[in-house]
Amino acid sequence: MDGWLTSFYAGPTKQSKVSSLPTSLYLPARSFSCRVEPGFTNAIHVYMSTLVKELSFDISRFNSKMYKVSEFVYSLINHHENEDLLSYEPTIRYAEFPALDLSPDERRAYGDNTYLPYGNTEVVKALGWLRKKGVERIIELKVPDRMVNSYTEQQIAGFAKDFKIEILDWRFIDLSLSLFDHDVKDRIRELHLYSSGKWAPVRHWLSSDGISTLPNVSSILIHQLACHD
């Protein structure tokens, strides 16, 4: 895994290709190679300190069916050899993840009576890594979550609060808005909701405890998912 990020190139008008990963995965970076000869470390640190910090975190193009998203995220945040290669502004425009159920063993239909003994950590780890990188605020957060064994509503509400999210697009079926605290509700400008087609969640969204508690929202998008019981 640690070899996934051993080559990292980019330019101001380009995107960089990460060697050993699927060819469809690209990450933003700059005209700089992290493969260097001994003795150039100080020069690299000087060079890196002059670079403009990133305004977004986008790994949405990762689409490998051989590796899990969690494995890629682990490789990214634990690549200590070049941990200073990416730096971020305190406020970034967006953070976008790939579909978390790309791996065949994670792609189960909603409603499957399958015992799911494990929890998910890739978003937790990635956002925690961004926090360590100095990110305090993410304007837009997009997470195409799994149809089953997804993150909890409490976790989603926590992310929205901790990173002061204004545009939330989290593929969670029948999300309850009651778990958002007052600050989150005041801050949300755009919200994507994903419906199983059941009436009870829709009734909640349309009730006095639902969408109407978001005073500054200007756009609500409801997505109907193909679900079954």
Q: Residue 77: what pLDDT? A: 84
Tell me the percentage of the chain whose pLDDT exceeds 70.
Answer: 67
Compute CA distances 4 → 63, 77, 99, 174, 191, whole Å.
Answer: 15, 12, 20, 36, 34
Q: Residue 33: what pLDDT? A: 39
Q: Residue 102: what pLDDT? A: 74
- Per residue in 114-148, pLDDT (tens digit) is 444 456 899 999 999 999 999 999 999 999 999 88
Compute CA distances 88 → 45, 55, 124, whole Å.
Answer: 16, 6, 18
Query: Per-block average pLDDT, block size 10, for the chain (229 residues)?
Result: 35 37 38 44 49 89 82 82 78 96 59 52 94 96 92 96 98 96 97 96 96 97 78
Residue 104 burial (CB count, 10 A) = 9
H helices within the chain, ranges in order? 41-49, 69-77, 122-132, 153-162, 182-187, 199-206
Q: Is-above-0.85 flag for pTM? A: no
Q: Residue 227: what pLDDT? A: 61
